[in-house]
A and B are shown apart, each in its own frame.
Chain A
Amino acid sequence: GQNIDQPTEMTATEGAIVQINCTYQTSGFNGLFWYQQHAGEAPTFLSYNVLDGLEEKGRFSSFLSRSKGYSYLLLKELQMKDSASYLCAVITNAGKSTFGDGTTLTVKP
């Protein structure tokens, strides 16, 4: 089966940098997605990693280490609108996605 762990909550200050970690145990790994979900809204796609290393997309970057079963999402120059839940999801060779419980990030002024 799949097992995905993320911290439940994090707090950071506007303008700072925050790193949200995700560890996973899975069979047939075929990629890892990060999604953002504002309260009461649908999740939206942020990033995808399938190879080891860092993928940068503006203020957001995502890192993957397949050998360690580890990923992180890095948010730079935090803004108040970044307050949201961040969901890590692993996709297997069979095409099924398993989501972590999400990390609720609160950005304070």
Chain B
Amino acid sequence: DAGITQSPRHKVTETGTPVTLRCHQTENHRYMYWYRQDPGHGLRLIHYSYGVKDTDKGEVSDGYSVSRSKTEDFLLTLESATSSQTSVYFCAISEQGLNQPQHFGDGTRLSIL
């Protein structure tokens, strides 16, 4: 299995608080992604990174920011969490190349009350 660790695995917090999720990889892959998955839905891309300090927005980026200061770490921040951001968040990594599959972390279950 690809070495991907997401932390925390579970978090409950209140509306309006900042939240940071961490994705750590040991594979030295160039590409890293953050997705959210809501019940009955597939994965929706929030942000992705194609190198250190190189990031781009996905289809549901509003309310989220990311940072990648090292190859191995990709952080997702909710500056002021809202109940609509309650979801399961998955991090994924892939090697360079459009034919490369993504390997996913175990997910973070985030509840915002």
Contacts and interface: CB of A to CB of B under 8 A. Distances in A.
Contacts of B44: 99
Interface in A64-95: 87, 89, 91, 93, 95
B99 interface: yes
A13 interface: no
B99 A41 contact: no
Nearest to A43: B104
A30 B100 CA distance: 11
B64 interface: no
Contact of B48 (A30, A41, A96): A96
A8 B45 CA distance: 20
Interface of A: prevailing SS: strand
Given A45-B102, A48-B101, A91-B98, A102 B45 contact: no
A27 interface: no
A97 B31 CA distance: 12
Contacts of B48: 96
Residue among B33, B35, B103, B104 with most chain A CB within 10 A: B104
A42 B43 contact: no
A42 B90 contact: yes
A4 B50 CA distance: 24
A21 interface: no
Contacts of B41: 101-102
A26 interface: no
Interface of B: 31, 33, 35, 40-45, 48, 50, 58-59, 90, 98-99, 101-107
28 contacts: A4-B42, A30-B98, A31-B98, A33-B101, A41-B106, A42-B90, A42-B106, A42-B107, A43-B104, A45-B102, A45-B103, A48-B99, A87-B42, A87-B43, A89-B42, A89-B43, A91-B98, A93-B98, A95-B50, A96-B48, A96-B58, A97-B102, A98-B45, A99-B42, A99-B44, A100-B42, A102-B41, A102-B42
Q: 3 tightest CB-CB pairs across the interface, nearest first?
A: A99-B42, A45-B101, A42-B104
